Chain A
Amino acid sequence: MIVSESLWNQAAGWDARLGEIGTDAQLVMYFGSRDALRACSPYEVLRSRFPAATIVGCSGTRTIVGSAIEEDVVAVATLTFERTSVRLARALVGAPSESYAAGMELGAALRADDLVAAIVLADGLLVDGSALASGMNRALGARPLIVGGMASDPRDYTEALVGANASPQSGTIAVVGLYGSSLLVAHGRASGWDAFGPRRRVTRSQGNVVFELDGKPAYDLYERYLGEELKSRAASDGVVIPLQIASPERPDATLVRAPLAVDDGPASMTFAGHVPEGWIARLMRGSSDRLILGAGDAARHAHLADDAGAGDTFAFVVSCAGRHQVMGQRTEEELDVVGSELGAATTRLGFYSFGEIAPLETGACEVHNQTITITSFREAAA
């Protein structure tokens, strides 16, 4: 497996490395800000360079390039496999309610005994990530590994772009299936957020909107904990206290749900993922230090042993936009620790998302919030 990386930015255009990459790459992935994606027409450029490749990409609030966070670039990874085959399934949805069916359809299109991993990129505004994950789980079961992220925008919540062998556009879901026993995959997910305070039962919710916890308005709870910050942050930049949720039957399989919006009439909190009624919820708090440690944990799980396989290693990194909000200028430190764990030779690209798609302890995939997910790919030696 050969992995190459190249960049585009407004000032310099495409870097020279793009021209040096072999044109027989089977998979090309690109990530960038919405403006950068519009400015450089990545699909057209990459298609002309890699005529046979599956080309997918999406917009993120920021782009991950190694240990750096970039705002106005497009980063490209090209993967040339020796014995792994690639297949693309894509769907276009017009509303979140179509997400479950789309997930079923995409999963069915890729289903095969030798499917090892599926990489999902989905519009983080128009697609209901939880429903998409449910549909894919239904079609594919707990195996293979399903990872990915929900495309994001610069937090103006107007348009998130995904490209699937076409120019990136909103409403798109791209799923890349990777097939063959030669592909080695390691995956890690961690949040670093700490639950605190009493356990509360979700007593009234609908999809990703929570009305009541323990029979009391969820809005009031958040207002108490965030005070004036609740409305000021919610209007512009999301809210910083996520919920840890778990089914009463599986209290150890926890999910993180980040608040996206608040509404004081009727009082409700909207989260970036479903919060089922009857589940148990706890407030969470994050500190930069704990989030950075969490990133290190995720990277350790995603580390492929140095003597496993041969050739290059690619690490696909998806981190939550909310983590950047908490860590501010220190955000790159989470990428530093990922780099330290995976080694400098691993090419690391990805984006800051509106939801990370990764498996639960059960193997079924789910949308997570406030996590960093890292998936490493390498091929076994011939």
Chain B
Amino acid sequence: MHRLLARQIARATRASGELDVGALIELVDGAYAEADVERARSDRAMLLTCEEMDALHDELRILALTDPLTGLPNRSSFADSALRAVGRANRGENLAVLLIDLDRFKTINDSLGHAMGDALLCEVAERLRGVLRREDVVARIGGDEFAILQLGCDDPSGAEDLARRLVQALVLPYFIRGYELTVGASVGVATACGADNAPDALLLDADRALYRAKNEGRCTWRMHGIERAYPSEHLGSTSVRLRKAIS
């Protein structure tokens, strides 16, 4: 600062060699004002950039937990939700996990292209939202795989009822870009009971039930741990129907 002051004194010194004190004070005040402006500008920039970075961080967090195609939570988000839900189940609340796999979805992609397949997945996501309660969680956890956490369900029959309604809803025809598409859905259900449930074990149970549903005719559901006669009538076609819609 002494160099600055020396320069200010030189500037405030008249040709006669006499120091103009008023001019010097003005220069010193000016230097302080410049420093204040610099600091204020820097503070404002940092404040705004912190706000902006916070907003971007939130945006990234949402993106990291969301399936970009359907807007549903993704596998990672579902795992978090499952962990919390199982904690509640272990404290006595009922919980069911439902895994859904579309039947022969690949045929849609292969025959009509990925854009049509993507559009169908979005429609499926909408139907799932329509069937579920607000407190249930639905996520897209793979290409044509969806998972549901049914929280506070009454008992296994409540979960089975939901599975049946899902299969019925998803098998109805879809009208997309001039095409009528029909696909089925297989559902595997596992319910949490008792106090020592683990999310991975529940998912594995639901996956085994889904495997049975696939093997035993598709377009149907199976409950893990329950061996009984399931309805034999078809809830819908187990093959994919592609048909140009007639307007």
Contact = CB atoms under 8 A, between A and B. Distances in A.
A268 interface: no
Given A241-B45, A329-B7, A329-B8, A198 B52 contact: yes
Contacts of A332: 3, 7
Question: SS class of chain A's interface: helix, strand, loop or mixed?
Answer: helix
Interface in B18-61: 27, 30-31, 34-35, 38, 41-42, 44-46, 48-49, 52-53, 56
**Interface bracket on B:** 20 to 34
A227 B41 CA distance: 10
B31 A225 contact: no
A330 to B, nearest CB: 6
A304 to B, nearest CB: 25
Interface in A324-339: 326, 328-330, 332-333, 336
B34 A287 contact: no
B4 interface: yes
A287 B45 CA distance: 12
A240 interface: yes
B125 to A, nearest CB: 26
Contacts of B56: 198
Contacts, number: 47
A346 to B, nearest CB: 19
B38 A288 contact: yes
Contacts of A283: 45, 49
A224 B48 contact: yes
A240 B8 contact: no
Contact of A330 (B31, B46, B48): B31
A285 B41 contact: yes
B30 to A, nearest CB: 6
Contacts of B7: 329, 332
A196 B38 contact: no
A224 B49 CA distance: 10
A328 B41 contact: no
Contact of A328 (B31, B42, B52, B53): B31
A295 to B, nearest CB: 14
Contacts of B3: 332-333, 336
Interface of A: 196-198, 224-225, 227, 229, 240-241, 283, 285, 287-288, 326, 328-330, 332-333, 336
Interface of B: 3-4, 7-8, 27, 30-31, 34-35, 38, 41-42, 44-46, 48-49, 52-53, 56
Given A225-B48, A283-B49, 16 more contacts: A196-B46, A197-B45, A197-B52, A240-B41, A285-B41, A288-B35, A288-B38, A326-B38, A328-B30, A328-B34, A329-B8, A329-B31, A330-B4, A330-B34, A332-B7, A333-B3
